[in-house]
Homo-oligomer: A and B are copies of this chain.
Amino acid sequence: MSRKIHNFSAGPAVLPPEVLEKAAAAVREFDGMGLSLLEISHRSKNFERVMEEARALALSLAGLDDRYDALFLQGGASLQFHQVPLNLLRPEGKAGYVITGEWATRAHREASILGNTVVVASSEEGRFSYIPKNYPIPEDLDYLHLTSNNTIYGTQYHSFPEAPVPLVCDMSSDIFSRPVDFSRFALVYAGAQKNIGPAGVTLVILRKDIVGRSGRRLPVILDYATHIKHGSMYNTPSVFAVYVTKLTLEWIRDNGGLAGMERRNREKQQLFYSTLDQCTIFEGTARPEDRSWMNATFVLRRPELQEEFENLLKEGGISQLKGHRSVGGYRASMYNALPIESVKALTDIMLYLNSKYA
């Protein structure tokens, strides 16, 4: 392909070109073994090293010490929606959820199936266009669950609440996109396929002392203790996805770490949102102070321009800008690996169309 594609996919999403090159090479031959990465034992020294390095790198990027562990599990955030309460919610206890969109709603639903939950705050009445703030947090919760970034509605926490209970956070769509004080969380999880890798692996970072908190008799495979004990190798891990995630974490480390990602992402969101705000034919859907740096959601105020706008996008190689099927409109996903050139390509089109019709 000679034409440059600007990949605004909401996830699975753009990965660094050098990561993709190394990943393709590893499918051909891995680590000088004469074999593909896809056909070696996960118990080979070569892969055991990959897993160890990936876990260490995740903890190091998060700035955490050995009171924490990093696991690479399967099943996506959707399985964590169940696994978190199974491990942390006592049968007679209560879990708190802040509802900021579809994923928070799903997380809450799974917890409700297992036990008692309370919605501590919600922005549903405002169509999830903002992040609730300054709500009281009950002190008797087993944990409080947040969703740091909302891909569908384009909102993001820019600061996290102080909580008198263990904090759990689904960071699937903004993990490692900026420095965060991870030590404030008891458990953080993230499907890799937005900022740190391909689909098929879930990063779980947890403080080891929370293991066993629910007191339930747990299935071995869903007990975090099992995976801590076996170094995330209790059963066959998602070998290729773990490797590509390790490559992506290395790319983050080598590009300034989380501070480097923040600089990169700040520049992109500034360019995008400042353009959006000066184009009167477009309108953002999230409250400005809660706008997501990862997923900018917006609509065309003049529906008659839709065809022309979408033709321009197509000609400009702007890919996957459609909003989520549940809300429509547009969504510019600008994860770590998206270069600013791609945002520039998009904003140039927005400015052109605006100057023509505004």
In the complex, which residue of chain B has the Cβ closest to the Cβ of A73? Answer: B75
Contact B12 A78 (CB under 8 A): no
What are the nearest 6 A-B pairs in CB distance? A200-B238, A78-B235, A24-B27, A5-B34, A74-B74, A1-B34
A28, A29, A35, A317 — most chain B CB neighbours (10 Å)? A35
Contact B199 A240 (CB under 8 A): yes
Taking the closest CB of chain B, its distance from the CB of A28, in whole angstroms, is: 5
Once A34-B5, A235-B76, A241-B238 are accepted as A-B contacts, the answer to whether A13 and B39 lie under 8 Å apart by CB is yes
A41 contacts partner chain B, Cβ-Cβ < 8 Å: yes
- Tell me which residues across on chain B come within 8 A of A25, comparing CB atoms: 24
- Tell me which residues across on chain B come within 8 A of A106, comparing CB atoms: 220
Select the stretch in A108-116, A284-292, A342-350 that faces chain B: A108-116
How many monomers of this protein are in the complex? 2
Contact B78 A75 (CB under 8 A): no
Task: Name A243-298 residues within 8 Å CB distance of B.
Answer: 244
A10 contacts partner chain B, Cβ-Cβ < 8 Å: yes
Once A5-B35, A7-B39, A24-B24 are accepted as A-B contacts, the answer to whether A236 and B12 lie under 8 Å apart by CB is yes
Taking the closest CB of chain B, its distance from the CB of A46, in whole angstroms, is: 11
Contact B240 A44 (CB under 8 A): no
